[in-house]
Amino acid sequence: MGTTQRMARFIAEAKFEDIPAPAVNLAKLCLLDAVGCALYGTTRPLGKIITGVVEELGGKPVSRVLGTRIETNAVNAAMANGTLGHSEDFDDFAAGHQAVLLMPVVLALGEEQRASGKQALLSYIVGFDITTNVTHAMGEDHYGKGWHNTSSIGTLGSTAAAAKMLGLDEMQTRMAIGIGASQAAGLRGNFGTMTKPFHPGNACRAAVMAAKMAEKGYEASPDIMEHRFGYAAVYGEQMMSLANCTRHLGHPWALMGSGREVANGIRIKIWPCCGGTHGANTAITHLLKKHPVKAEEVERVDIVTTQEPSCMAPNLRWPKSGLQGKFSSWFTVASIIVDGGKLDLSSFTDEAAARPAVQDMLKRVSIVQDPEHAGRPHRARGGSHWLDLTVTLKNGERLVAARIEANNARGDTYGWETKEAVFDKFKLLAGAVLKPSQVDAALNAIMDLDKAKDVRAVVDSVIPPR
Amino acid sequence: MGTTQRMARFIAEAKFEDIPAPAVNLAKLCLLDAVGCALYGTTRPLGKIITGVVEELGGKPVSRVLGTRIETNAVNAAMANGTLGHSEDFDDFAAGHQAVLLMPVVLALGEEQRASGKQALLSYIVGFDITTNVTHAMGEDHYGKGWHNTSSIGTLGSTAAAAKMLGLDEMQTRMAIGIGASQAAGLRGNFGTMTKPFHPGNACRAAVMAAKMAEKGYEASPDIMEHRFGYAAVYGEQMMSLANCTRHLGHPWALMGSGREVANGIRIKIWPCCGGTHGANTAITHLLKKHPVKAEEVERVDIVTTQEPSCMAPNLRWPKSGLQGKFSSWFTVASIIVDGGKLDLSSFTDEAAARPAVQDMLKRVSIVQDPEHAGRPHRARGGSHWLDLTVTLKNGERLVAARIEANNARGDTYGWETKEAVFDKFKLLAGAVLKPSQVDAALNAIMDLDKAKDVRAVVDSVIPPR
């Protein structure tokens, strides 16, 4: 049996009863977090544009754009909600940004299909497993070359979730994977622009289309993963392991963390910026807690890391906009110093980014790759990864942060995700669109999703009154 | 000035007055041919599915699906028409399949915008130039690895046409190119399935979305072509020449043929199958004219060529369906012999493909790569390309076809495209959907497109009466 068939069989055969309760609980938490991010996204310039386009396009009103009164077809709703959810880069990450690849698909198709909450959660968890395992199997050259793995790989996970939502059989699912694979895209060159958030939106759109087409009998290669001119050949950069795409599917469930690097549990973000900046953010935040120095005392900040600076964050040395700042460790470290340890949504407005104090501090931050790790142009799997940060004060004093040891420099955001903290984050984000009483009702509705007879009840809870 | 900006400036500044009259005439002819293919596509299984999906999705009724009564938004109309136009692989080719990347965009947006015929033709010709030049600049590893260049490169040409249709300025066009580039996709592994025709449909959809988003202020990298993690880096396989993307834009207009290999004029197809089979088709057709042997006399057919067989046609050694047969030189040669020189739409039904005489003849056709060219795993640019075909009869006689010398083994289909022959092809294809009087009216409407005040008049002409 080939890789594509194995994947399809896993997707088609998965049952809610197979899923351990902690995974269901975690999926609800991730979904909640992504819904909060999408709600907040409607208030942002890029959110207004994408919802404006979707409103103009129209479509049978069977699914809704979260946080708005827009009713449209499931394809457009999934596209809009995926884009909105990623607008601040504040959504969770684990083998790419998973929640914004899955939440939009299961809510849009859930509404259309009047599916149960259990069906939505099962589809979410199955899609998570596919993305995680394919990412693990991919090899490093993929991201290193310039692919935005969240969409270029995640399209397959979104497609898995969509296929499961429509209850496709094994062969239909193989077709859906084939159609989905021919739409996988997303360039890291668009990081720091509005088009990065569009990537998961586009993946969700592609997935819903693929599943709908397959449901109606549209055909693709049944073996697109392993085909000589297929997914592994084209996206895998000759380093992809087909065996690893399926070896661990459901054993263990990737959502629970598996001990493997890319499935090391989900990071629900505390900072609204690229995960690549979180290692440096952690180092400087800890240092400032110990040594609460003021910006004007700082002569320079030196970061030495195993990774090439452009891979910690995509090469945005001199960000001009807040959106660009989200992808620049230089910028996040500078902001944290200027704002005395704080880094939140207000740090990434264009006005905040343009502050002379931040722009001045940017010049004082240096990031260099440890010479012994040079020639490994992107994050490499395995081995030790670390980040050292030193602050030199104008008085000559040198303050050295504790070394950040982390895969992918994610710092100590591990374990941050208590349920209550995620609830608070949701309340902050949803509160930008909904009244406090509705925020609480929405939170309860999402956390009760496994008991919901119809996914529409959850979406109802986050639609603002006229 | 960078590559993306050069491309955008060319697109934004092009004027109808710049275009030589023969290019306008040729664009009309290509558009006519593509419309005919799309009309025929509505009668095919894949056409019925894609139109069914679009009908189910709905959308503001501002653009139409050709040959149907479906009114939808420009995004869905472009997607459907692109898919329909490529359903039989009977549409033109030159640096990929151009007409199905451009016709759907200029008609769907032309209807929506109530644009003039001149605007549509200008956009068509500009989009053609972009696709052709980027393809010329791409390098060979792209297609060889498994990309379907028609969509993976053509998305940029579609986006150029869409940007021109909306009259975007230079910076908006750069944004549209950035958004479009992050949607470029399409795997050759799906050749021989319904998903291959979806590739240009998806490119057209991506292009209309990109232009609409950019028009409303959505942002992307202004330098996506040359960005370190941009289009050339990811799709160019380290062989792409950025300089060649723009060196010849408009000088000469690629639609007129430029003497460069990938722009060597358009091939309007005489056979409804992959262009990769046309060299072998030409050889056997000529040989049978000289020596009208019967299938039962044939012991074996030996083809030796400079190209790897899988690149003449994507490795479909034993096609089972008619759709698979379109991508197999073994199949097309076998069919031509069995049917005494004939290869037309009727050769590619599933029933025709399953005929014992064809399946038996398949076994007798051998294609091998000339040993001196081994190790060049895909079509290589430059140098001599040839194909030798020999038929050995059961009586021991050997019949040798004239060597086919051709770039990309396209055989002698050069120069076939007389206006009248294209008209006849359109009548055949459109006649499957429209009454003869309407066919003639549609032909006249399209050939008068440059005089049309509103593109809707052309689409009106190919909508069947209720």
In sequence order, what are the beta bridge partners of A404?
A387
Interface test with B, best of A158, A219, A225 (most B CBs within 10 A): A219
pLDDT on residue A411: 37
Cα dihedral A31, A34, A35, A36, rounded to 10, equals: 130
pLDDT at A48 over 60: yes
Percent of chain B whose predicted confidence (pLDDT) is above 70: 92
What band does B314 get if pLDDT is binned at 50, 70 and 90?
Answer: low
Question: Which residues make Cβ contacts (< 8 Å) with residue A91, sequence separation at least 6?
Answer: A33, A34, A37, A85, A97, A99, A100, A269
Can you spell out the DSSP letters for B277-339?
GHHHHHHHHHHHHHS---GGGEEEEEEEESS-HHHHS-S-SS--SHHHHTT-HHHHHHHHHHT
As to burial, measured by CB atoms within 10 angstroms (0-12 exposed, 13-18 middle, 19+ buried), residue A244 is middle
pLDDT on residue A415: 42
Q: Which residues of B touch A229 (CB under 8 A)?
A: 145-146, 187-189, 191, 314-315
The 8-class DSSP code of residue B464 comes to P
Q: Which residues of B touch A57 (CB under 8 A)?
A: 59-60, 73, 75-76
Contact B183 A193 (CB under 8 A): no
pLDDT on residue B386: 86
Tokens representing residue B61 in the block: 């009724």
Put simply, whether B183 touches A (Cβ < 8 Å) is: yes
pLDDT on residue B417: 56
pLDDT on residue B261: 39
pLDDT at A264 over 70: no
Please say whether the beta carbons of B37 and B276 come within 8 A: no
Amino acid, res. B21: A
CA distances, A233 to each of A224, A240, B117 (Å): 10, 8, 42
Residue B64's nearest CA partner among B108, B34, B23 is B108
pLDDT on residue B306: 85
What band does A68 get if pLDDT is binned at 50, 70 and 90?
Answer: very high
Can you spell out the DSSP letters for B369-394?
E-GGGTT--S--SSS--EEEEEEEET
pLDDT on residue B459: 97
- Among B52, B189, B229, the residue with its CB nearest the CB of A230 is B189
Q: Which residues of B touch A209 (CB under 8 A)?
A: 53
Locus of tokens 């946080």: A67
Q: Which of A114-128, A344-358, B165-179, B399-413 has the lowest mean pLDDT?
A: B399-413
Q: Which H or E run contains B11? A: helix B3-13
First to last CA, chain B: 53
Write out residues 221-260 of B within 8 Å (CB-CB) of A.
Answer: 221, 223-224, 227-231, 233-234
Put simply, whether B315 touches A (Cβ < 8 Å) is: yes
The 8-class DSSP code of residue B256 comes to G
CATH topology of domain A3-254+261-270+417-461: 2-methylcitrate dehydratase PrpD (1.10.4100)
Cis check: omega of the bond before A252, within 30 degrees of 0: yes
Condensed to tens digits (0 to 9), the pLDDT of residues B270-296 reads 899 998 888 899 999 999 999 999 999
* CATH 1.10.4100.10 domain locations along chain A: 3-254+261-270+417-461
**How many CB atoms are closer than 10 A to CB A383?**
9
Task: Tell me the backbone φ, ψ of residue A391, rounded to 5 degrees.
Answer: -105, 125
Q: Which of A259-263, B42-46, B348-352 has the lowest mean pLDDT?
A: A259-263
Amino acid, res. B294: K
* CATH 1.10.4100.10 domain locations along chain B: 3-270+417-460
- Among B189, B212, B219, the residue with its CB nearest the CB of A227 is B189
State the Cα–Cα distance between residues A338 and B452, nearest whole angstrom. 61
- Strands B298-305 and B386-393 come out as antiparallel
* φ/ψ bin of A452: left (φ > 0), alpha (ψ from -120 to 50), beta (otherwise): beta
pLDDT on residue B239: 87
What band does B411 get if pLDDT is binned at 50, 70 and 90?
Answer: very low
Cis check: omega of the bond before B377, within 30 degrees of 0: no
* CATH 3.30.1330.120 domain locations along chain B: 275-413
Interface test with A, best of B177, B187, B219 (most A CBs within 10 A): B187
Put simply, whether B438 touches A (Cβ < 8 Å) is: no
Condensed to tens digits (0 to 9), the pLDDT of residues B376-410 reads 544 444 556 789 999 999 999 999 998 887 654 34
Residue A276's nearest CA partner among A307, A255, A251 is A307
Please say whether the beta carbons of A170 and A5 come within 8 A: yes
Contact A187 B224 (CB under 8 A): yes
Instruction: For residues B211-224, give the mean pLDDT.
Output: 98
Instruction: For residues B161-187, give the mean pLDDT.
Output: 98
Q: Which residues of A touch B183 (CB under 8 A)?
A: 183, 185, 202
Contact A202 B182 (CB under 8 A): yes
pLDDT on residue A412: 38
pLDDT on residue B418: 76
Instruction: For residues B23-29, give the mean pLDDT.
Output: 91
Least Cα separation, residue A366 to chain B (angstroms): 20
Amino acid, res. A208: V
Write out residues 88-147 of B within 8 Å (CB-CB) of A.
Answer: 145-147
CB pairs under 8 A between A and B: 202
Put simply, whether B217 touches A (Cβ < 8 Å) is: yes
Task: Tell me the backbone φ, ψ of residue A65, rounded to 5 degrees.
Answer: -85, 125
Put simply, whether A32 touches B (Cβ < 8 Å) is: no
1.10.4100.10, 3.90.550.10, 3.90.1150.10, 1.10.940.10: which CATH number matches B3-270+417-460?
A: 1.10.4100.10
State the Cα–Cα distance between residues B168 and B160, nearest whole angstrom. 10
Contact B50 A213 (CB under 8 A): yes
pLDDT at B268 over 80: yes
State the Cα–Cα distance between residues B273 and B328, nearest whole angstrom. 9
**How many CB atoms are closer than 10 A to CB A259?**
8
Tokens representing residue B301 in the block: 């057919």
Condensed to tens digits (0 to 9), the pLDDT of residues A317-361 reads 999 999 999 999 999 999 999 999 999 999 999 999 999 999 999
State how far Cα B314 lies from the chain centre. Answer: 16
Q: Which residues of A touch B314 (CB under 8 A)?
A: 229
pLDDT on residue B409: 39
Higher-pLDDT residue of B175, B309: B175
pLDDT on residue B259: 42
- Among B198, B230, B315, the residue with its CB nearest the CB of A189 is B230
3-state SS track over chain A: CCHHHHHHHHHHHCCHHHCCHHHHHHHHHHHHHHHHHHHHHCCCHHHHHHHHHHHHHCCCCCEECCCCCCEECHHHHHHHHHHHHCCCCCCCECCCCCHHHHHHHHHHHHHHHCCCHHHHHHHHHHHHHHHHHHHHHHCCHHHHHCECHHHHCHHHHHHHHHHHHCCCCHHHHHHHHHHHHCCCCCEHHHCCCCHHHHHHHHHHHHHHHHHHHHHCCCCCCCCCCCCCCCHHHHHCCCCCCHHHHHCCCCCCCHHHCCCCHHHCCCECCCCCCCHHHHHHHHHHHHHHHHCCCCHHHEEEEEEEECCCHHHHCCCCCCCCCHHHHCCCHHHHHHHHHHCCCCCCHHHHCHHHHHCHHHHHHHHHEEEEECHHHCCCCCCCCCCCCEEEEEEEECCCCEEECCCEECHHHCHHHCCCCCHHHHHHHHHHHHCCCCCHHHHHHHHHHHHCHHHCCCCHHHHHHCCCCC
Tokens representing residue B383 in the block: 């140098």
* φ/ψ bin of B429: left (φ > 0), alpha (ψ from -120 to 50), beta (otherwise): alpha
pLDDT at B310 over 90: no
Percent of chain A whose predicted confidence (pLDDT) is above 90: 79
Q: What is the mean pLDDT of chain B?
A: 91
pLDDT on residue B95: 80
Q: What is the mean pLDDT of chain A?
A: 91
CA distances, A348 to each of A88, A335, A336, A342, B76 (Å): 9, 9, 11, 12, 35
Condensed to tens digits (0 to 9), the pLDDT of residues A394-413 reads 999 999 998 887 654 343 34
- Among B59, B191, B224, the residue with its CB nearest the CB of A57 is B59
pLDDT on residue B384: 66
Please say whether the beta carbons of A224 and A4 come within 8 A: yes
- Among B46, B58, B216, the residue with its CB nearest the CB of A218 is B46
In sequence order, what are the beta bridge partners of A64?
A71
pLDDT on residue B263: 38
Q: Which residues of B touch A75 (CB under 8 A)?
A: 57
CATH topology of domain A275-413: 60s Ribosomal Protein L30; Chain: A; (3.30.1330)
What band does B313 get if pLDDT is binned at 50, 70 and 90?
Answer: low
Contact A185 B189 (CB under 8 A): no
Question: Angle between the B170-181 and B3-13 helix axes, to the nearest 10 degrees?
Answer: 120
